[in-house]
Structure 1
Amino acid sequence: MIAFSATLACQYDTPFSPFPAAQFGHGLAWLSASGFDAAELCINDYEGVEVAAIRQALDRAGLGCTTIATGQARKRDGLTLLSADKSVVRRTQARLFEHIDAAAQLGSHVTIGSLRATDLPLDKGQYMSELAAALFPCVEYARRNGVVLILEALNRYEVCQLHSAQEMMAYLAFSDAPENVGVLWDLFHASIEDADYAQAIATLGPRLRHVHLADSNRGFPGYGHLPLEEVYTALRLAGYQGAVSLECLCRPSAQTVIDGAGELVARLRRL
């Protein structure tokens, strides 16, 4: 069964949440009332963040947690797994260890997207080698703690390498990634990088562990030109058992997202 979640900010505001972090409780109530199963939590660091309290708030709302989104640390703290400054790499790994600890408590995955962005002039082979080496201790730590790390396929305008479903699978094979490493497939990025959605889903196979919903303009589904129902049907027919998570910019407005989410979830569940 496919679960539904949506991004919420619980520490610092993010353009992907229709509620500011200060209204985290309102966001949980919205998810519950709109028929979602879980939240996708945007967490930068754990200064002042009580994971046990978040777990309790989720439980009260009848919600789970699908993944912890980690990308804020790229812009806020300059973290990346791919840096000429090895102290930056070590700090990024340490931050990911904290995310893994939180995910173990929340029963969630940990997303690695923007934390693999780099300004280094790396070709594909160099990029994959550097990323595999930097990720290795994180992958092992996650494996020991029963946590899945999901690497997000990002478009060519955001990162220099690993954009498509096929390229993500090539990286997993290159790095001999264990089963606790999967792929996050985002429809916005896929609209740029994957010519055939059904083929991309088939290529990822069981490594597909999480899906982001957004339209071609990264706005709320229905305000661009992506065939959302066709993609969701392809996921269902492929036997996908992970979550689909609303991670879109609040376009045309936050209120549009708030008001339309329940109908979107209900419509997809009927397919």
Structure 2
Amino acid sequence: MITFSATLTCQYDAPFSPFSAADLNKGLAWLKASGFDAAELCISDYQGIDIARIADALASHGLGCTTIASGQARKREGLSLLSQDSEILRRTRQRLFEHIDAAAVLGSYVTIGSLRVADTPLNATRYCQLLAQGLAPCLDYAHARGVTLIVEALNRYEAEHLNSAEDMVQFLDLIGSPPQVGILWDVFHGNIEDRDFAQAIASMGPRLRHVHFADSNRAFPGYGHLPFDAIYRQLRQFDYQGAISLECLCRPSAQAVIDESGPFIQRFRQL
């Protein structure tokens, strides 16, 4: 069964969250009232973060957590799994270990998106080698903790390589398709990089673990030109069993996201 979540931020305000970090509880109440199943939580670091308390807050609203979004640490601290600075690489891995520990408590995935952006240009072969090396200890730790890491396909303007669904499948093949790694596919990025949505979904198969919905201009669905009903039907046709999560900018406004999310997901539940 497909479930639904939306992005909320726990610590620092984020452009994808219609509520500020200070209003996390209001955001959770909104998710529940709007008919969502879970939250997708932005966590940059663990200074002042009490995961047990967050887990209790989710449970009190009858919500789960789909994934921990880790990308804020890239912009705030310059962390990267592809850094050739050994100290930055060490700190990035340590942060992912902390995310994995948190995910074990929350029963969620951990997203690797911006944390795989390189600091310097690399050819595709070298990029994939460095990413595989950077990930290796994190994969071992995720396996030990029973957590899945989901690597996001990012468009060419945000990441140099691994832009399309096909690229992601090839990378997972390269690292031996470990069971603790899956693909996060965002239709905003897919609109730029994937030739055909149905083909992309079919190519990822069971390795597709999480889906982001945002329109062609990264606004709330319906304010661009993407065919969300068709995409949803294609996901169901290929027996997708994960979550669809709203990760759109608060456009046309945060209030529009708040007001229109409930009717939007209810429409899919009836398809």
TM-score of the superposed pair, with normalisation by structure 2: 0.99
* Structure 1 residue 121: Cα displacement: 1.8
Match of 2:96 in 1: 96
Match of 1:250 in 2: 250
Match of 1:264 in 2: 264
User: For residues 63-113 of structure 1, what are the alpha-carbon distances to aligned partners after superposition, in whole Å with 9 as ceiling and x for unaligned?
Assistant: 000000000000101100011211101100000000000000000000000
Matches of 1:177 and 1:132, distance apart in 2: 11
Which ranges in structure 1 are unaligned for 5 or more consecutive residues?
none
Matches of 2:195 and 2:12, distance apart in 1: 35
Match of 1:181 in 2: 181
Match of 1:87 in 2: 87
RMSD across aligned positions (CA): 0.5
Task: Spell out the pairing of 1:133-212 with structure 2 (5 A cutoff).
Answer: 133-212=133-212
TM-score of the superposed pair, with normalisation by structure 1: 0.99
For the 8 Å contact 1:155–1:189, the answer to whether it is kept is yes
Match of 1:68 in 2: 68
Please state whether the residue corresponding to 1:103 is helix, strand or coil. helix
Match of 1:38 in 2: 38
Matches of 1:83 and 1:109, distance apart in 2: 23
* Structure 1 residue 124: Cα displacement: 0.5
For the 8 Å contact 1:84–1:120, the answer to whether it is kept is no
Matches of 1:197 and 1:62, distance apart in 2: 33
For the 8 Å contact 1:183–1:209, the answer to whether it is kept is yes
For the 8 Å contact 1:82–1:120, the answer to whether it is kept is no
Match of 1:105 in 2: 105
Please state whether the residue corresponding to 1:65 is helix, strand or coil. strand
User: For residues 149-178 of structure 1, what are the alpha-carbon distances to aligned partners after superposition, in whole Å with 9 as ceiling and x for unaligned?
Assistant: 000000000000000000000000111130
* Percent of aligned positions that are identical: 64
Match of 1:27 in 2: 27
Task: Spell out the pairing of 1:214-229 with structure 2 (5 A cutoff).
Answer: 214-229=214-229
Matches of 1:45 and 1:67, distance apart in 2: 15
Match of 2:213 in 1: 213
Match of 2:129 in 1: 129
Count the aligned residue pairs.
271
Residue type at the aligned position of 2:123: D
Residue type at the aligned position of 1:54: I
* Structure 1 residue 240: Cα displacement: 0.4
Which ranges in structure 2 are unaligned for 5 or more consecutive residues?
none
User: For residues 115-154 of structure 1, what are the alpha-carbon distances to aligned partners after superposition, in whole Å with 9 as ceiling and x for unaligned?
Assistant: 0001222111000000000100001100111100000000
